[in-house]
């Protein structure tokens, strides 16, 4: 029971960090496009 709980929790954190990485990548991509348009 405890192992399953830990697994679910770590899986949730993994998904969240993954989503955060994707979000940061999108933001930096948009930011670089914006900088390119500003030049």
Strand segments, DSSP code E, in the chain are: none
Nearest to 37 by CA among 29, 7, 15: 29
Q: What's the Cα-to-Cα distance from 27 to each of 8, 17, 24, rounded to whole Å?
A: 29, 15, 5
Residue 22 CA to residue 3 CA, distance in Å, equals: 28
Instruction: Locate the domains of the chain by residue range.
Output: 1-38
Which one has a higher pLDDT value, 16 or 3?
16
Q: Is the pLDDT of residue 6 over 70?
A: yes
pLDDT band at residue 37, thresholds of 50, 70 and 90? confident
Whole-prediction pTM: 0.57
Q: In this predicted model, what pLDDT tens digit does every residue of 14-34 receive, in sequence order?
A: 999 999 999 999 999 999 999
For residues 2-18, average pLDDT: 88
């Amino acid at each position: 029971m405890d192992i399953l709980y830990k697994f679910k929790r770590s899986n949730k954190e993994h998904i969240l960090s993954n989503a955060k990485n994707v979000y940061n990548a999108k933001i930096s991509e948009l930011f670089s496009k914006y900088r390119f348009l500003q030049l």
